[in-house]
Amino acid sequence: DQQVKQNSPSLSVQEGRISILNCDYTNSMFDYFLWYKKYPAEGPTFLISISSIKDKNEDGRFTVFLNKSAKHLSLHIVPSQPGDSAVYFCAVKRPGNKLVFGAGTILRVKS
Amino acid sequence: NAGVTQTPKFQVLKTGQSMTLQCAQDMNHEYMSWYRQDPGMGLRLIHYSVGAGITDQGEVPNGYNVSRSTTEDFPLRLLSAAPSQTSVYFCASGTGGVGEKLFFGSGTQLSVL
């Protein structure tokens, strides 16, 4: 029972262009959504989050959009840089404050 | 600023052996947790703790034990290792019992032969 799905295992983008990473979830009761970034041989690091009462949150080059009716979350990176190449995980907070993660999307930014 | 420290970084075990993965944090976080990462599966929660003396099961707890005797430490024990436990293990900590923003260690790569 996959509660969080990242349907694109990988994404390749040219430097300077927009990267869009997508995430779908199944339960409308989730109230908090997060994105983590992971480099090889390192632990995931927190990137950006959004509460269910909002539909957009920005932090520099990173913007997260939440479409509650579609149960869809997306992360936009503009402009993309080679240093953004990493695995991106979306996560949702379940009742009881447990985080459930998607399978991850590998982003490659080509220079 | 150490953050979350995991040891060892790599470990190879034989089936049936036991071992303990260590995790320590110096941020005075109440919430600590263990995840395993497998290809195509994302990060799955094994066990978590909302404070010293309190632990609970996550999504995939079978084969693992935890204890939380201090705020700083949250070891994960494999009592009898199985090949299905070959994975990368991450320890994470967060503020209060909420855990929205987790700080992760660098991981332990475990192979069970």
* End-to-end Cα spacing for chain B: 36
Nearest to A52, CA basis, from A63, A37, A62, A67: A67
Nearest to A32, CA basis, from A103, A106, A107, A90: A90
Q: What is the pLDDT of residues B91-101, one digit of tens each?
A: 999 885 544 68
Average pLDDT over chain B reads: 92
Whether residue B110 has pLDDT greater than 80: yes
Q: What is the pLDDT of residues B19-35, one digit of tens each?
A: 999 999 999 998 899 99
Alpha-carbon distances of A83 from A34, A79, B86, B106, rounded to whole Å = 20, 11, 30, 19
The chain A residue lying nearest B49, using CA atoms, is A98
Inter-chain touch B103–A4, beta carbons under 8 Å: no
Residue A96: the pLDDT is 64
Q: Which of residues 19-38 of B touch A (CB under 8 A)?
A: 31, 35
Three-class SS state of A93: strand
A64 neighbors A73 (Cβ within 8 angstroms): yes
Best A2, A3, A6, A97 residue to mutate vs chain B (most B CBs within 10 Å): A97
Q: What is the pLDDT of residues B41-85, one digit of tens each?
A: 889 999 999 899 999 999 999 999 999 999 999 999 999 999 999
Residue B41: the pLDDT is 85
**Partner A contacted by B45 (CB < 8 A):** yes
If one compares B25 and A30, the residue with the highest pLDDT of the two is B25
